[in-house]
Structure 1
């Protein structure tokens, strides 16, 4: 998972312990006396952060989107800044649920020069797709783009996200096709991959067909069921994602 990989860059995690060691270390450490002081210091530090956060007004001077958030009824900050943790491109929030992150990302934001609004969004697994419209007030113009937010939960923290957009060619292609018609083209190659993804998902196969498998050590399967999609190879039956279906052999 992306969040586990990112977390190991700042610490280490041992399979047999429920606790994450947040300091730098060279080898995994198991639950013994050496771990207890580090765990205690981490818990105390987290408690101090929560106490300091509760004592200050709940506002964010700058959001991850780069928009200054003024006071007013339009802006509804969901979390306070000291409760956030940045990890290699990811932003996690202590105590936040998946629904909290989605609600925070799709809420409108506005300042004196521009307005940020989500005009369409959907969730596919742990990927949030959104069509964003930015209104530049002084220039009297609008801009739209497709945003891709990867969602994940970090152990000992909460849910968080990593944001990308179409021009960066995110290697995720479950974006709804109708979103492509709502936004000017920013990456034609990525859009071709999105259309191919949906074409493969909507592809119909028949029981008894011998179909090649892409990106797998299993070269092909004989379709044994269409709902769910399963195939047989070497005396074993496999559940096959439609995105991995190749040519009929």
Structure 2
């Protein structure tokens, strides 16, 4: 499905993308064959108000069925000249979305699937969760899978971690230059073991 844009007034009073999409994906319809089919959102999240993730359960004649993931790209444009301030593009996990930051509590609700696209998407989501759970300590020596070229032309693959409050700055061990890498916790870096010398304390 493509993008659907609308003015805020068409959101049915919903103040957030999450609440609006929760309502859109929860429904039941009577079909011509006499069956009632629908969906029910069991859990959802919209991190950064940019991508919506949901565990949606199928309903058939009121009986709950399989649970699969829905992903919606979200766009906000309050100053839109044509009055279409909100838009979204929905897709299922079976389409193998590029966005793979679905929270664990939603992934845990999904039922088994044979869709290869969905299985690969779930695996990417789990890998991203594992990456973000890693810890960086001041003084760690970090190594990227491949050398990275920065805007100043510098090329480096290994860095010393410097913690400045909640910020992480990477220092080149050879030149002393400091750099920042976007979405660092989602990248496939590794920590190189280093020998740390502790001060001797005499009683």
Name stretches of at least 5 consecutive residues in structure 1 with no aligned partner.
Answer: 1-63, 65-88
- 2:40 corresponds in structure 1 to 117
CA distance in 1, matches of 2:110, 2:20: 22
What is the root-mean-square deviation of aligned Cα atoms in Å? 2.6
In structure 2, which of residues 48, 51, 59 is the aligned counterpart of residue 127 of structure 1? Answer: 51
CA distance in 2, matches of 1:161, 1:134: 21
Q: CA 1:242/1:134 → structure 2, altered by over 3 Å: closer, same or farther?
A: same
- 2:186 corresponds in structure 1 to 243
- 2:20 corresponds in structure 1 to 104
- What does 1:13-162 align with in structure 2 at a 5 Å threshold? 89-95=2-8, 99-107=15-23, 108-112=26-30, 113-125=36-48, 126-137=50-61, 140=63, 142-154=65-77, 155-156=80-81, 157-162=84-89
- 1:209 corresponds in structure 2 to 140
Runs of 4+ residues over 4 Å off in structure 1: none
Name stretches of at least 5 consecutive residues in structure 2 with no aligned partner.
Answer: 31-35, 151-156, 193-203
Residue 185 (1) aligns with residue 112 (2):
yes
Q: CA 1:115/1:232 → structure 2, altered by over 3 Å: closer, same or farther?
A: same
- 1:77 corresponds in structure 2 to none
DSSP 3-state at the match of 1:204? coil
Structure 2-normalised TM-score?
A: 0.68
DSSP 3-state at the match of 2:15? helix
Q: CA deviation at 1:239?
A: 5.4
Paired positions, count: 161
Greater strand share, structure number: 2
Contact preservation (8 Å) 2:57, 2:64: no
Greater helix share, structure number: 1
Q: CA deviation at 1:231?
A: 1.5
Q: CA deviation at 1:214?
A: 5.7
- 2:130 corresponds in structure 1 to 199
CA distance in 1, matches of 2:161, 2:85: 41
Q: Looking at both structures, which has the greater relative contact order when contacts are Cα pairs under 8 Å and sequence separation is at least 6? A: 2
CA distance in 2, matches of 1:103, 1:214: 40
